[in-house]
Structure 1
């Protein structure tokens, strides 16, 4: 099966990392088409996955945009759709990996008569989307041959918004287990380089965005003992630089300057996670899946996550990690203190979480599930 993958972003996020793994399985007979250039294109090329950038101008519509903004974007969407139609005739199916890709992919699917697959990486609720974009996504997804949801939480939100039950199936993100081999020397070197020797280190790995809740961790940090420090790995995307300024002002106001480091985008996420004493997930709205949670587990690092969305499917309280109420800094601070004071128990829980994550999220097994689903729901006539 030859698949044309579509993604709106040139930057690397959770959806893009998932697509990288999916596309790698059929790199010799597929193409990833991006709607803008960026670091994701380079990552695909480094992985020897065919990629083509279709536009140099990002589509201006965002999840919270109104119908008027959508109308204004038509001038961008139509020529982009025409290019995808021409490309799609060389492939057996169109695989839309993001919402903007779904819009373009649906148009191309109709015109080229190629089946459409939609990989749903979002919770289609009004917390995340405007009513206009939510309705558009559900309407177009219902025309797809298959909707792959990245969690039961994403599936449930899709159904609640009007999605067709017979179209949607859950396939979790997979992870290349060999990448998460422990490297104590590397972790020790990073601690030294970052000046964190003798500190209790909390890691936060996410783009800097209000709903990702970095401000919640800063508030919690101010309630922890003075030897607790935090690193923030990730940068602002999609015009969220004002939030970054707010975070720096919060650090100054809480007098946390010597206990916080903003490291920006890093390529060495895995050793940084392995260096940490805890990885925290602090999203204030329900997370569709939570790649960071699974990655921390695979690194053998204790995890504290916000109790909502996909995190409820990943973390079993007191067995594979800890769950705290979203946006509750005191509860987060108490959980951090508990891990710090009961280091042996925290490490035992982290080791069990690691074994469970390796069992549940092995990329090879997940890819087998995806392939079987595609064959049975999209390409069944080709395999009879």
Structure 2
């Protein structure tokens, strides 16, 4: 059985972390790959779920913004020499560098091992990134000929990274995959959610699921929401449900913007949830208003799998994923976003039609079983070379 060690920053809920979890779940069920996970920082909210699969998780204990200590490097060396994997997989910039160091340690012991990186964001303007992230991107660029392959989850991400000097010869594009049993249409979800939230049954629900970060476009969405409420508020009940890590009443910047736009009666800040599949199936529409940084947004694929149509910005491969099952607008264009949201909300028949098409598109192109098989075949072929 192929042995693979995955290096990732932490295991808090996020796109890369959830993709890793979904892959591990398939591989463990099929007993096709023996997996180990090493987090650079804390264990995170999905660690228990990964360990429940029978996957060993190690944590090096780095602090955010800090650098690895000698003790951490010694622990990394101990872990990697104990497991002695056939392949080491880095996830995102921090994980890629850690995976590279681990590979060098193992090769010093004359153990043959393959190194693979995984990059999951686009690079519209490196100036958007924090200083430390910019340094890591540059270090990844300088080292990008060391891995056997670099997996990107979107073609645009590959093109943008190669445009700043990443090795063109290392490219491998594998999109995200989705659990079609967990994320699926649920006819009872809408009534249940509205009862729980104390909303009238004729309320129209718009969902946005992402952590709070400038790249995720909360400002654009709220500006669009103001226009939608102005146009539809008197005729229809509209509620925007904002879900994700940091999306709470304790987020002063977000609350201040909602107050300035006088949107408090129309916006619910729901924080991080473990039942996002139920919420996605319950809402009438999901919006992905990201300004930059997305590669292949998980939220869009998950909503589509639930039979919920999406309005997305043309960031990363969002337009490719949605295709003709939703609506695509330019990033930060809140006027266009408001128009598309209104058109969707006012045409129930069209929403249902697009939702059915969205579900079929995910079934045909992005099921997690098919994507996990692509990863497995890719790993096995690479280790045979």
Aligned equivalents of 2:56, 2:178: Cα separation in 1? 21
Matching residue of 1:44: 50
In structure 1, how many angstroms separate the alpha carbons of the residues matched to 2:375 and 2:11?
Answer: 24
> Which residue number corresponds to residue 115 of structure 2?
116
Displacement of 1:374 in angstroms is 1.4
1:216 corresponds in structure 2 to 220
**Is 1:368 the equivalent of 2:367?**
no
Whether 1:101 aligns to 2:92 is: no
Give the Cα separation in 1 of the matches to 2:19 and 2:260: 38
Q: 1:25 to 1:348 in 2, by over 3 A?
A: closer
CA shift in 2, pair 1:77/1:330, >3 Å: farther
Question: Structure 2 vs 1, CA of residues 88 and 171 (structure 1 numbering), >3 Å: closer, same or farther?
Answer: same
Q: Distance in 1 between matches of 2:27 and 2:360?
A: 28
Q: Does 1:231 align with 2:245?
A: no
Q: Tell me, what secondary structure is at the counterpart of 1:258? A: helix
- Counterpart of 1:67? none
Aligned with 2:79 (options 77, 87, 91): 87
- Distance in 1 of aligned mates of 2:338 and 2:250: 22
Distance 2:340 2:308 in 1: 14
Tell me, in whole angstroms, the C-alpha distance in 2 between the residues paired with 1:366 and 1:25. Answer: 10
Q: Offset at 1:359?
A: 0.7
Equivalences for 1:1-384 in 2 at 5 Å?
A: 1-27=2-28, 29-35=34-40, 36-55=42-61, 57-60=62-65, 73=67, 76=68, 78-89=70-81, 90-113=84-107, 114-124=113-123, 125-126=125-126, 127-128=128-129, 130=131, 131-196=134-199, 197-224=201-228, 225-226=232-233, 227-236=237-246, 244-316=251-323, 319-377=324-382, 379-381=383-385
User: Within 2, Cα distance between the matches of 1:342 and 1:10?
Assistant: 40
Specify whether residues 77 and 138 from structure 1 end up closer, same or farther in structure 2 by C-alpha distance, changes over 3 A only. farther
Higher relative contact order (CA 8 A, sep 6+): 2
2:117 touches 2:149 (CA, 8 Å); kept in 1?
Answer: yes
* Residues 317-345 of structure 1 deviation map (CA, whole Å, 9 limit, x = unaligned): xx210011111111111001111222211
CA shift for structure 1 position 243 = 9.7
Distance 1:213 1:370, change over 3 A: same
Unpaired segments of 5 or more residues in structure 1? Answer: 62-72
Using a 3 Å threshold, how does the CA distance of structure 1 residues 286 and 41 change in structure 2: closer, same or farther? closer
Q: Report the Cα distance in structure 2 between the residues aligned to 1:152 and 1:242, rounded to whole angstroms.
A: 37
User: Cα deviations across residues 113-157 of structure 1 (Å, max 9, x unaligned)?
Assistant: 232111111224513465432211122232111211111011111
What SS does structure 2 have at the residue aligned with 1:221?
A: helix
Of 15-24 and 26-35, the range deviating more from structure 2:
26-35
SS where residue 222 of structure 2 aligns?
helix
- Structure 1 residue 315 displacement after superposition: 1.9
Residue 53 of structure 1: CA displacement? 2.0
Note if contact 2:150-2:171 (Cα within 8 Å) is conserved in structure 1: yes
Residue in structure 1 matched with residue 110 of structure 2 by the alignment: none
* Aligned 8 A contact 1:8 1:100 in 2: yes
Give the aligned CA root-mean-square deviation in angstroms: 2.0
Deviates more, 1:114-123 or 1:22-31: 22-31
TM-score (norm 1): 0.89
Maintained 8 Å contact 2:24/2:50: no
2:75 and 2:38 map into 1 onto residues whose CA distance is 10
CA distance in 1, matches of 2:122, 2:250: 22
